[in-house]
Structure 1
């Protein structure tokens, strides 16, 4: 039986039709059990977000400690990004088929074990293997955790609140990782950037079985795994992410960048052709054809591309132009983290009072304005920080409004059986966006500076990339306004 037969009638906006998830009356507030479920899932998602950035500041120390050559140092980040982004959709669908609780707990156990191995690594090969395992664990745990959250909280204000808190902690985790990595590396050792995962993962693995209910379809209704589709989309995403990382490292015309991007495009095109023909597709095109799923994920992809890569650009600016230390530069992003938390808490309230699209577009406009304000950053420390701190704070609020709007949009109006697919797509947008944003902006900086490394050249390159960044945010706003319909969010 095809999963497409269980899909509800398509809607243009998640608020537009009753969902199959709303088969029971929704509780008016968070019960004790729901709070416990939310705490377990949010702790795990926060840890996964921290892992995306915690090693960035520590890379030079790791290279010195284990003997990485300068040209191979980037693979500490790239090996994680490739597996995390490439396998997300595949594992999201696996969770639909075998049970999201099993995938969630198993992947957190793998993350804890891989982190322990990474912290104890004495050779580059062992550390890279641990990073690949961490990436695979992230690819499995992120969509499983999100789908467990969306199935535990029916559509409406409670789910919006849960996704708002989740989004806030996710972005705060990315910022916290940059700060924590610098603190741990400077005060203890880079190995603690790995070890810190172990007790958290162990606690979640021990508590989750008693708190979270399993969600898996009956054996008779369980579709078969679309192996050709799974292989092509996974390899296509791997090729695309690899090409982008090589473009950021060597430029857009480098043979490795062109080969990776070309292979990725061809394989993803083959994936869509396969999905049109196969009886039980990995991604039913009917689901992907919904406006809320398709355009919601486009908006989310651009939101993650822009804000996470802005952290990279401002890190370059703070260290190479203003002369900040890595630790001081990392601490400077604390204001951005506070902004994302505020945005995550505001988003569900604003959605309840207006609509998901209104919040998404408003957040995008705010993010665009305050990203564009960073074009006026100069080379004087006092004046620069007087602009940078409030701009990143309000830009973080705007970005989080977009992210929560995207999560609510892209995961609503679907039955529970397709929540793994929906959250897999949303997680893929998140992780591909995080992965591709930095190399894209790095390539812009490289092209602008033409190899120059002076403070003024870096400043010029960063300014150009910030302009591109603001343009991408504005593009996301325009696409959302054009292709998503504005309907009032349901009230409880």
Structure 2
């Protein structure tokens, strides 16, 4: 039976859409989740971090599994795992239960996302049709992040926070039902070593989890406590072991030779810092809008929406300007605009007007974060061999997700510490939250400032239209 490639694209893009959606849809539900399940302020960030860490940590393993077992098989398994974890998350009755379900959701996303991209690249021949498909893929994925906050607000206000998870279940079931009709089974011929490198994935992800947990526990326990030092040292040791395993593996998840490329190394770091600033801003602002300014979940989602529009505008302009101005120039402009947005947001008070105190910062930040990421993605794969482009793309996505989780851990720890200090000094609850919000955004601004310095070390390229289109699928 002949399958329409555009029907295949619709199925794959919708799956990627819900994976990206789940990064942002939860943010506006966080205050309700905190109240209902009894999360502490410093543990609440794990609702986001558990998902992004497992997603980023196992993304490369998901890609390897798709190559060895067949992408459609892994895609279906990832979808089912994602849907089942979504149902469990919606039924959660304790913080630990919800965090565990979010982690499994991230694992499901790490399986289905690279498998979907593998199917997409085989379905469309190299050239114009693939470029169009990649553009649709990247655009819909980005739209998922934008619509997530509004959809989350609608679901929370109309039903309960549990529906931000339940909504995935019927979509997953529908996709699994139509999959055999629209997506053909593909098997790759394997000429190299047939190994998953599960040890590498486990060491890397466990090491990152330990480091993030150590950072989060630093605020209540103190940086010099046995608990914090134990997790930080243990996590670092696991990451060193991960590098050693990858260096000796015949088929590593992360080919370390890729990092001989200055372009890939600089771009990976830039995207990690971008992810840190992005997740921190979303997390802090969602709580600030509802707990300080008194927004409903839907109002908070709508207040984020203009940022999504400027992000789309930034992606379009960056894709055009890299031809004329070069990647480093556009990336530097994006980093500077994103920094300006964070600094403006950090000046917002408890009762100021949205259009003057919050909107300018949100517009600038949305524009800047995407204007930075587009050229960074292009540069990263510019001098990577074609047969390693998939691995390089996986590395970039993993760095963005994991950098976001690590950055969020640092920001929430320092923000919670400031709230506690302000309360101890006699400030009211609302004022203490504002001061914590300000400190958190200033820490995120430090990430953006480091990104400006980092961008100065990036190469200056003027890519052609094909390189720009293929880079759209990386993020």
Fold similarity call, TM over 0.5:
yes
Give, in angstroms, the shift of residue 116 of structure 1: 3.0
Q: Does 1:444 align with 2:418?
A: no
Pairing partner for 1:428 from 381, 394, 398: 398
132-141 or 167-176: which moved more? 167-176
Alignment of 1:285-296 (within 5 A): 285-296=256-267
Whole-Å Cα distance in 1 between the matches of residues 44 and 445 of structure 2? 30
**Ranges in structure 2 where 5+ consecutive residues have no aligned partner:** 467-475
Whole-Å Cα distance in 2 between the matches of residues 161 and 470 of structure 1? 35
255-264 or 286-295: which moved more? 255-264
Q: Give SS of 1:315's match.
A: helix
Whole-Å Cα distance in 2 between the matches of residues 476 and 325 of structure 1? 34
Match in the other structure for 2:73? 102
Q: Does 1:364 align with 2:338?
A: no
Pairing partner for 2:388 from 397, 411, 418: 418
Give, in angstroms, the shift of residue 157 of structure 1: 8.1
TM-score (norm 1): 0.80
Q: Residue 476 and residue 125 in structure 1: after superposition, are their counterparts in 2 closer, same or farther (change >3 A)?
A: closer
Pairing partner for 1:190 from 161, 167, 177: 161
Q: Residue 261 and residue 179 in structure 1: after superposition, are their counterparts in 2 closer, same or farther (change >3 A)?
A: farther
Match in the other structure for 1:398? 368
Give, in angstroms, the shift of residue 320 of structure 1: 4.4
Whole-Å Cα distance in 1 between the matches of residues 131 and 376 of structure 2? 11
Match in the other structure for 1:480? 455
Give, in angstroms, the shift of residue 192 of structure 1: 1.8
How many residues are paired up?
458
- Check conservation: 2:75, 2:112, Cα contact below 8 A: yes
Please, what is the CA RMSD of the aligned residues?
3.4
350-359 or 467-476: which moved more? 350-359
Match in the other structure for 2:431? 456
Whole-Å Cα distance in 2 between the matches of residues 338 and 196 of structure 1? 24
Q: Deviations over 1:208-230 (max 9, x none)?
A: 55555666542333543334433
Give, in angstroms, the shift of residue 429 of structure 1: 1.5
- Check conservation: 1:233, 1:268, Cα contact below 8 A: yes
Whole-Å Cα distance in 2 between the matches of residues 168 and 255 of structure 1? 46
Match in the other structure for 2:322? 351
- Check conservation: 1:155, 1:412, Cα contact below 8 A: no
Q: Give SS of 1:234's match.
A: helix
TM-score (norm 2): 0.82
**Ranges in structure 1 where 5+ consecutive residues have no aligned partner:** 1-31
Q: Residue 124 and residue 400 in structure 1: after superposition, are their counterparts in 2 closer, same or farther (change >3 A)?
A: closer
Q: Does 1:300 align with 2:271?
A: yes
Q: Give SS of 1:376's match.
A: coil
- Check conservation: 1:151, 1:419, Cα contact below 8 A: no
- Check conservation: 2:271, 2:376, Cα contact below 8 A: yes
Q: Deviations over 1:363-390 (max 9, x none)?
A: 21221222223343344422x5313213
Alignment of 1:265-304 (within 5 A): 265-304=236-275
Whole-Å Cα distance in 1 between the matches of residues 411 and 225 of structure 2? 16
Pairing partner for 1:490 from 446, 464, 470: 464
- Check conservation: 2:323, 2:463, Cα contact below 8 A: yes
- Check conservation: 1:96, 1:420, Cα contact below 8 A: no
Q: Deviations over 1:1-39 (max 9, x none)?
A: xxxxxxxxxxxxxxxxxxxxxxxxxxxxxxx96654543
Using CA pairs under 8 Å that are at least 6 residues apart, name the structure with larger relative contact order, 1 or 2: 1
Q: Deviations over 1:176-227 (max 9, x none)?
A: 3333223212211233222211222233334455555666542333543334
